[in-house]
Structure 1
Amino acid sequence: MKFLDLFAGIGGFHSGMEKAGHKCVGYVEIDKFARASYQAIYKTEGLYTANDIRTIRASELPKADIWCFGFPCQDISVAGKQEGFAGARSSLFFATTRIIRDLKQEDRPSYLVIENVKNLLSINAGFDFLKLQIELDEIGYDCEWDVLDTAEVLPQHRERVYIVGHFRGRGTRKVFPIRREGQNSAKGKEINIKPKIKRAFDARKNGTYGSQDVVYPNGISNTLNTMTGGNREPKIAIPCLTPDRVKKRQNGRRFKNNGEPAFTLNTQDRNGILIKEATNKGYKEAHIGDAINISQPNSKTRRGRVGYKKANTLTTGEEQATLTKDMRIRKLTPLECWRLQGFTDEQFHKAEKVNSNSQLYKQAGNSVSVPVVYAIAEKLEFKGVTS
């Protein structure tokens, strides 16, 4: 089937739909940086395109069986101002349905595939979600929905509500629930098994934001976001020192990190190690689970090198280590964030040529998860708008 990619971003819907055998006939995206990535990744020559959904006329659009859109969530997200559909950005949902109202009945898409944050179901006591259902009903669509977690297919905890609108009278088949392999009970009912998120540092328990969590390499990343404000990229703990090396490099001798001098270990006992710093005591004791700042190892003025049971403020460099299972902490790279949304390395490297790292982080955080879209897309069957 043919699909139209609205609020396209970097093409999470495009990749998922295309993987399921559907064909893109057009895309709409207002952000110039996201457009640059989209055009670098996909073959867009000959496709319909526009920048602003508010300026589109129904008569100019190509016919499509499916319209995909993850309309802006800033007014709906729990991290936003909670304005709901009264907000300027999330109200763009109605700019989309206005176009459908202007289409002839026979030209309206058979399916609408919509994505947004889970809070859409409950914001304004659920009345906004009721408004959405009423609007879809008025333009001829029955709808079904489900909350899907990206962690079921990728190592990222990202719960999103997916809504599928079925144009009334065309007999489109039900999409949800989507059965996961090996997750059906003996009675055939759907069960939901979610991987446990293993955190080296749980920011929520320390009074800060979940985006500052640090996860183990075999754990699940916290939800990618647009990284507004900087230094909010997901963090992962990676191997640094083995216990043998620590034992060999004690009693005032230095151990090395990738060949570079790091700390002076003044002493070591069964409970921890003493880290040299510029305080009256001259050191702080670090135990398993504490963070250690390894920047400027030879400085005579650095203080606060040890963070008790949590990471120090993370900067753009790899300056953090921890004694938790002999791990250190680093940010995820932009490439890793794109992988967590299901994009290929080839797609990332094409986008990397036309955008900065800050934009690449933002684009990953704004995207829909490709394999989740694919799971929905492969269940859509042709009901005839295009020939």
Structure 2
Amino acid sequence: MIRVFEAFAGVGTQAMALKRIGIDYKVVGISEIDKFALKSYEEIHGKVNNYGDISKIDSDNLPDFDLFTYSFPCQDISMAGKQAGFNKDSGTRSSLLWECERIIRNKKPKYLLMENVKALTFKKNIEGFNNWLKILEDLGYKNHWKVLNAKDYGIPQNRERVFCISILDDEKEYKFPKKQILKTRLKDVLEDEVDEKYYLSNDRVKQLIKIIRNDDIKEKSIYDGSIKNPKSKNIANCLTGRDRGIVNFQSSGNVVVEPKIIQTHKLKSDKRYNPSRFRVYSPKGIGPTLLANAGSGNRPCIPIKNGTKNGYINAYPGDGVDLINPNGKTRRGRVQKESIQTLTCGDNRGVVADDLRIRKLTPLEYWRLMGIDDEDFYKAQKVNSNSQLYKQAGNAIVVDVLAAIFMELFKESR
């Protein structure tokens, strides 16, 4: 049996991965300070010994363990954060990495697993990362690290993370798992029916269309969203900084044809809006990196065609849509064929239908894109709000990637 200690445990995706591949393991302890994540962890895995804040743990009081996992906070390393760094004694959240040194030095577990954002390997952070690897080497560990992308291990999310496997007093060369052919697409993880609250408002759609039609877009690279074009591979780019990812939907009569993913490199800046709010990703492709801070402007958006299958009436270009009666089920109610509803003297202006609707991902879809089983999601849903579920998924590690790593690490134990 492999004894496991999960530092910065979150909802316990490391344990999920070990369970999935049939490893005989036992979690002897975790370190987690987020009370909401702890609720999800215990609902999914059962009661656990939580030693709390890692900076306050007395390593002499910890049980022995064989595997120590430490996905330390990335806020001060990530390109999406303030990039305050993770220097020792700096007081940043990411500097909690150095608290792990005390525990590793004292307990000397056989295996270590680290996970963090790709930016840990960038020029600004690589010196600190190398210093950490040197400390582990001096303790007798052999380190193996590599940047892996979730889309290469069965999950339609463009999520790059650096993983480091450290093995104590071992001369064997660890090999990271080979890439897999992606067979699952974003559409395969979507729910059939979702609440109306997840759909973008008409104003937000107009903002999106305005950006798509922006005459100031320069240096556009257009990728056909159809499978016929191998260059695209139906992947929605994971963009950072001022880059914006948008989907251009062309129509032919009443038919929405294949979308095109547009990557813009030099788009006129609009300081009023967060660029990520205008990213829309094809359901036939791959989602962007999911964020822990999944506020309404930070959730990936996807297009949904009109149709009664989704619980509402077909509305075609030129038809009127009655926003006063949004739940109407008849054409006389919600949709007026090639006409508009009665105009009023108030602020209820007439709205004409476009080819499509756009919505945000749901919490369940977020968890699916982290490779977490629906059964575990529903357990967590019982004890947490949607906002916490988004955050927990964004902070998690993709289970399928972990499973592939553990398959190689413990292949002799299975």
Does TM, scored on the shorter chain, surpass 0.5? yes
- Residues 36 and 11 of structure 1: is their aligned pair in 2 closer, same or farther, counting only changes over 3 Å? same
C-alpha distance in structure 1 between counterparts of 2:381 and 2:303, whole Å: 25
Aligned pairs for 1:360-379 within 5 A = 360-379=389-408
Q: 1:301 corresponds to which residue?
A: 347
Matched, 1:329 2:333: no
C-alpha distance in structure 2 between counterparts of 1:250 and 1:305, whole Å: 9
TM-score normalised by the chain length of structure 2: 0.68
Q: 1:140 corresponds to which residue?
A: 140
- Residues 218 and 30 of structure 1: is their aligned pair in 2 closer, same or farther, counting only changes over 3 Å? same
C-alpha distance in structure 1 between counterparts of 2:400 and 2:50, whole Å: 24
Cα shift at 1:80: 1.2
* Cα deviation digits, residues 42-64 of structure 1 (max 9, x gap): 023xx432111111122222222
Q: Is the 8 A contact 2:65 2:109 kept in 1?
A: yes
Matched, 1:227 2:320: no
Partner AA of 2:15 in structure 1? H
- Where 1:144 maps in the other structure, the secondary structure is strand
Q: Is the 8 A contact 2:75 2:81 kept in 1?
A: yes
C-alpha distance in structure 1 between counterparts of 2:321 and 2:163, whole Å: 57
Q: Is the 8 A contact 2:319 2:335 kept in 1?
A: no
Q: Is the 8 A contact 1:120 1:129 kept in 2?
A: yes
Q: Is the 8 A contact 2:157 2:369 kept in 1?
A: yes
Q: 1:344 corresponds to which residue?
A: 373
- Residues 253 and 232 of structure 1: is their aligned pair in 2 closer, same or farther, counting only changes over 3 Å? closer
- Where 1:233 maps in the other structure, the secondary structure is coil
Partner AA of 1:197 in structure 2? I
Superposition CA RMSD, Å: 3.4
C-alpha distance in structure 2 between counterparts of 1:166 and 1:82, whole Å: 30
- Residues 3 and 302 of structure 1: is their aligned pair in 2 closer, same or farther, counting only changes over 3 Å? same
Q: 1:200 corresponds to which residue?
A: 247
- Residues 138 and 353 of structure 1: is their aligned pair in 2 closer, same or farther, counting only changes over 3 Å? same
Q: 2:128 corresponds to which residue?
A: 128
Q: Is the 8 A contact 2:7 2:31 kept in 1?
A: yes
In structure 2, the gaps of 5 or more residues are 183-230, 237-245, 249-260
- Residues 34 and 252 of structure 1: is their aligned pair in 2 closer, same or farther, counting only changes over 3 Å? closer
Partner AA of 1:18 in structure 2? K
- The equivalent position to 1:36 in structure 2, one of 39, 48, 54, is 39
Q: Is the 8 A contact 1:122 1:129 kept in 2?
A: no
Deviating more after overlay: 233-242 vs 345-354: 233-242
- Residues 93 and 125 of structure 1: is their aligned pair in 2 closer, same or farther, counting only changes over 3 Å? closer
* Cα deviation digits, residues 92-137 of structure 1 (max 9, x gap): 111011222233xxxx111111100000001526212222222222
Cα shift at 1:204: 6.7
Q: 1:310 corresponds to which residue?
A: none
C-alpha distance in structure 1 between counterparts of 2:19 and 2:278, whole Å: 34
Identity score, percent = 37
Partner AA of 1:338 in structure 2? W
Aligned pairs for 1:38-187 within 5 A = 38-44=41-47, 47-86=48-87, 87=90, 88-103=92-107, 108-124=108-124, 126-152=126-152, 153-167=154-168, 169-176=169-176, 178-181=177-180
- Residues 276 and 219 of structure 1: is their aligned pair in 2 closer, same or farther, counting only changes over 3 Å? farther
Q: 1:317 corresponds to which residue?
A: none
Cα shift at 1:341: 0.3
C-alpha distance in structure 1 between counterparts of 2:395 and 2:319, whole Å: 49
C-alpha distance in structure 2 between counterparts of 1:70 and 1:96, whole Å: 10
Partner AA of 2:150 in structure 1? T
TM-score normalised by the chain length of structure 1: 0.73
In structure 1, the gaps of 5 or more residues are 184-192, 268-274, 279-297, 307-320
- Where 1:155 maps in the other structure, the secondary structure is coil
C-alpha distance in structure 2 between counterparts of 1:257 and 1:25, whole Å: 51
C-alpha distance in structure 1 between counterparts of 2:44 and 2:73, whole Å: 22
Q: 1:259 corresponds to which residue?
A: 329
Q: How many residues align?
A: 322
Matched, 1:215 2:261: no
Partner AA of 2:128 in structure 1? D
Cα shift at 1:245: 5.1
C-alpha distance in structure 1 between counterparts of 2:66 and 2:277, whole Å: 37
C-alpha distance in structure 1 between counterparts of 2:297 and 2:398, whole Å: 22
